[in-house]
Amino acid sequence: MPNKSDSAGKLHQYYTCKYLVSKNLQAKFNSPLEDSHKRQIHEEQFNKYEILSLKNIGELTGDEILQFASSNLATITDIGETSGAVGFKNTDDIRVITTDGTIHSFSLKCATSLSQILSKNMGAKSLLKDYFNAVSEQQKFNSKLEKHHLTFFETISKQKSTTIREARKIINDFSKTKGNKKPRFTDSHFPTANKARDEFLRNLKDELKSSLESLGKKNLAKAVNIILDTGKNHLLGNYSNNKENVVYVRIPDKTEEDIVSVRTRGNDAIVIVTNDYEVGFRYKFESSITSSIKLVGDYKKI
């Protein structure tokens, strides 16, 4: 089951495309959500008012696209689930081709508040290498992450382990003896889990801050440009009921001179501050105690 924010994004794309099709009945249309079963999985997460709002911003988004592409569309493609699948730099969500062969691509975001935009899920063990071009720093970070991760498991299990795999198995096996499929942070037989998680995530935050502070501003600007999708067409939709609106944004490339600082945000996030944006990074657990560690990116205008 996808999370709600991902489903909102997929439906935003689909409803936008369907609106464009209604304005260009002869256009070829492709979308993974034309499969009604796939679409239903996403739609079931919303009430009727939220669905109506998502459809409304789909229409508003479509109108914005038509300002670029007129109404003579030959092909409308909802890139949908494959956006980013062949590389973290591929972020287009909708592509339209006009009858004269001109291609227009757009990245879509939507939320009930646009004060902070979720950017993308990034690899917890590949962020520095992929986004900052910092291979050696990534290797150092991964070594520290694994050390902290092992300590996290040992704190919960009260047993020493030689590998993360072994430590994870101890906790999973113990959880099964208690009749649970997965070890949850809410389980009463893991009383130290929440405190251990907070300490683990704080350690990752501190390690990331140290890594970023060791990099030059050229590396920081490179990552910021990828995360902000600079130079691309963005359509940001607010699907709050009766407050729906869509904003077009095109963010210029950032240079070393635009980087202001690296700082902490709250207890669990690190941000790179530019002259007009904050780009955030936050580690979190996917779900259970033994699930994968995820890294979430976000940004907001300041």
Torsion from C-alpha of 15, 16, 22, 24, nearest 10 degrees: -150
Q: Does a structural domain hold residue 99?
A: yes
Taking Cα atoms as reference points, which of 212, 215, 228 lies closest to residue 270?
212
What value does the mean pLDDT take over residues 7-28? 96
Q: Does a structural domain hold residue 280?
A: yes
Residues near 62 by beta carbon (within 8 Å), at least 6 away in sequence:
16, 17, 19, 20, 23
Are residue 218 and residue 171 in the same domain, yes or no?
yes
Are residue 102 and residue 125 in the same domain, yes or no?
no
Q: For helices 4-23 and 48-69, what crossing angle results, to 10°?
A: 50
The pLDDT assigned to 95 comes to 96
Q: Name the token pair of 157.
A: 């299990």
- Judged against a pLDDT cut of 50, whether residue 85 lies above it is answered with no
What value does the mean pLDDT take over residues 248-259? 96
* pLDDT tier for residue 82 given thresholds of 50, 70 and 90: low
Rounded Cα distance, 251 and 146, in Å: 36
What value does the mean pLDDT take over residues 65-91? 77
**CA 148 → CA 103, 183, 196, 203, distances in Å?**
47, 19, 10, 7
The pLDDT assigned to 107 comes to 94
The pLDDT assigned to 222 comes to 95
Task: Give Dmax (Cα) for the chain.
Answer: 67
| Cα 62–chain centre separation | 23
Q: Does a structural domain hold residue 245?
A: no
Are residue 176 and residue 259 in the same domain, yes or no?
yes
* Helix (H/G/I), strand (E/B), else coil: 179: coil
Rounded Cα distance, 1 and 6, in Å: 10
Environment class of residue 259 by beta-carbon count within 10 Å: exposed (0-12), middle (13-18) or buried (19+)?
buried
The pLDDT assigned to 91 comes to 82
The whole domain housing 79 covers: 4-111
Q: Does a structural domain hold residue 218?
A: yes
- The alpha-helical segments, DSSP class H, found in the chain are 4-23, 36-43, 48-69, 127-132, 135-157, 164-177, 193-213, 217-228
User: Which one-letter amino acid corresponds to residue 168?
Assistant: R
Q: Within 13 Å of residue 197, how many CA atoms lie on the same side as its CB?
A: 19
Are residue 137 and residue 34 in the same domain, yes or no?
no
Q: Which H or E element spans position 120?
A: strand 117-122
The pLDDT assigned to 258 comes to 97
Count of domains observed in the chain = 2
* pLDDT tier for residue 81 given thresholds of 50, 70 and 90: low
What does the pLDDT look like over 31-71, one tens digit per residue? 999 999 999 999 999 999 999 999 999 999 999 999 998 77
The pLDDT assigned to 122 comes to 87
The pLDDT assigned to 87 comes to 56
Question: Are residues 99 and 106 in contact, defined by beta-carbon separation less than 8 angstroms?
Answer: no
- Judged against a pLDDT cut of 70, whether residue 73 lies above it is answered with yes
What value does the mean pLDDT take over residues 92-109? 94
Residue 201: Cβ within 10 Å count: 20
At residue 179's C-alpha, the angle toward residues 171 and 283, to 5°, is: 40
What does the pLDDT look like over 112-170, one tens digit per residue? 988 889 887 789 999 999 999 999 999 999 999 999 999 999 999 999 999 999 999 99
Say how many residues make up the chain. 302
Q: Which H or E element spans position 99?
A: none
Q: Name the token pair of 294.
A: 């995820």
The pLDDT assigned to 118 comes to 85
* pLDDT tier for residue 225 given thresholds of 50, 70 and 90: very high
Q: Does a structural domain hold residue 282?
A: yes
The pLDDT assigned to 86 comes to 45
Are residue 210 and residue 103 in the same domain, yes or no?
no
The pLDDT assigned to 84 comes to 47
Are residue 129 and residue 186 in the same domain, yes or no?
yes
Question: Are residues 191 and 185 in contact, defined by beta-carbon separation less than 8 angstroms?
Answer: no
